Amino acid sequence: MNDLADNTQLQQGRTVDSVLALFALPFNDLLFRAQTVHRAHFDPNAVQLSTLLSIKTGGCSEDCGYCSQSARHGTDVEKERLLDVAKVVEAAEAAKAGGATRFCMGAAWRGPKDKDLEPVLDMVRQVKALGLETCVTLGMLKAGQAERLKAAGLDYYNHNLDTSPEFYGQVVTTHSYQDRLDTLQEVRHAGLAVCCGGIVGMGESRRERAGLIAQLANLSPQPESVPINMLVKVGGTPMQDENDLDPLEFVRTIAIARIAMPKSHVRLSAGRRELGEGVQALCFLAGANSIFYGDKLLTTGNPEVEADQRLFAKLGLKPEVHAERRCAGHD
C-alpha cells in the first residue's frame, strides 16, 4: 500500500480540545507516548533528508508577517529573477551527492502565472531524472496547474496552513485560510503527495498551536510530510521582535504532531540552527524524522552539513533511504 492510500485510513476527527489535552500532559509522559507511536510506524533512527533551494527570491506581493520575502516588509532580501534551469540542476546534483533524497524548490509568489509554470516544469523533469524526489512550493495554485506539475514528475507540493484559522488573520491579510485549503485540495485531486505544516513562535497561544495541529490532522488524507517551523525572526518583518517561544513548548508541538499524524514524516524545519543540539535531540525523541539538510533554507541559515553529520553520529541517526530506491534494491 502506498503512503497516500495508507493515510486515508487515519481520519480521526481531532478536536482542538483533544490536542490541548496532549499539550497538558507531563513532558515525560508526552514524549514516551510520542516515541511509542513513532516506533510503531517508523525506524526510530532514520531521518529523511530534504534539501531546499530558493528558485525565485523576494518581491512577493503577499504580507505574511514572518516572511523575509514580502515586498511589503523592509528586509535585506533582494528581489531576484527565476533561476536558470541549469543552476537548479547543479544544486540538485550537489544535494544528491550530499545524501539528500528530496529536493524542494521554493518560489516567493502569491501563486504562479501560467507562463511562470513552464520553466518550473522543466526543473521538475530534470531534478526527477536525477533520481531525487521532487517538491515545489509556489504559493496558491489555479485549476489545472497541479495536474501539469504532476505530469512533469512532481512528487510533493508544499503549502503550509502555518497556524490556526483563528490566528491566521493576524499573520496574513492578503489571502485567506480558505485559499490555503483550496490549494491543498487542488494538490490532492491531482494525485500529488502533500507537504503541509506550520510555524510556531509567532505570538500564538497554546490553543492556537493546538488549532494548527488539529487542522493538519483532520486533512483527509493526512499530509505525508508535516514541516514544523520555529519562527526565524527576520529583521524588517513585523515579527522581528516577537518573544521567544520556550524550546520545550516546541518539542511538545513536535510530539503532538507525531501522535496526531502517526504515519506522516514530521519535519524539524526552520529555526533548527537556533535550537541547538540538545533541543534537536529531544525533537528526534519526540518523533521528528525529517530535516532540511544543507547550509541554507530559503533566505536564512540552517546548520552546516558538517554540524548535522556530527549530530547524527552522536545520536546514532542515519539518513533514510527513499522508498523507490529500496524497491530497486539499492538499500
Binding residues for ligand DTB, rule: CB under 6 A, are: 52, 68, 106, 137, 158, 160, 197, 227, 229, 232, 269-270, 297-300
Residue 327: in which H helix or E strand, if any?
Answer: helix 323-327
The answer to the question of residue 158 lying near ligand SF4 (CB under 6 A) is no
Is residue 58 within the footprint of ligand SAM (CB under 6 A)?
no
Catalytic hit among 14, 148, 188, 195? 195
Question: Does 60 interact with ligand SF4 (rule: CB under 6 A)?
Answer: yes
Pairwise CA distance, residues 117 & 165, whole Å? 29
Residue 139 in contact with ligand SF4, rule: CB under 6 A: yes
- Told to judge if 207 belongs to the known catalytic residues of this protein, a careful annotator would answer no
Euclidean distance between CA atoms 83 and 85, whole angstroms: 6
Q: Which of 67, 288 has the CB closer to ligand SF4? A: 67
Alpha helices in 218-260 (DSSP H): 247-260
Output the smallest distance, CB 136 to ligand DTB, in A: 9
234 binds ligand SF4 (CB under 6 A): no
Quick one: cell of 136?
A: 515545489
Catalytic residue among 14, 33, 102, 104: 104
Q: Which of 33, 67, 180, 252 is catalytic?
A: 67
Among 120, 192, 199, 228, binds ligand SAM (CB under 6 A): 199
Number of Cβ atoms within 10 Å of the Cβ of 313: 10
- Nearest partner of 149 among 180, 178, 111, judged by Cα: 111
Query: What's the CA angle centered on 287, arms 33 and 54, to 5 degrees?
Result: 155
Q: Applying CB under 6 A, does 232 fall inside the site for ligand SAM?
A: yes
Is residue 247 part of the contact set for ligand SAM (CB under 6 A)?
A: no
Phi, psi for residue 109 in degrees, rounded to 5: -120, 150
Instruction: Tell me which stretch binds ligand SAM (CB under 6 A): 37-45, 86-94, 156-164, 203-211.
Output: 156-164
Is 209 among the catalytic positions?
A: no
Which sign does the torsion angle of CA 250, 256, 257, 262 carry?
Answer: positive
Q: How many helices (H) and strands (E) does the chain have?
A: 13, 10
Q: Measured from the CB of residue 199, what is the shortest distance to ligand DTB in angstroms?
A: 8
Tell me which residues are annotated as active site: 60, 64, 67, 104, 135, 195, 267
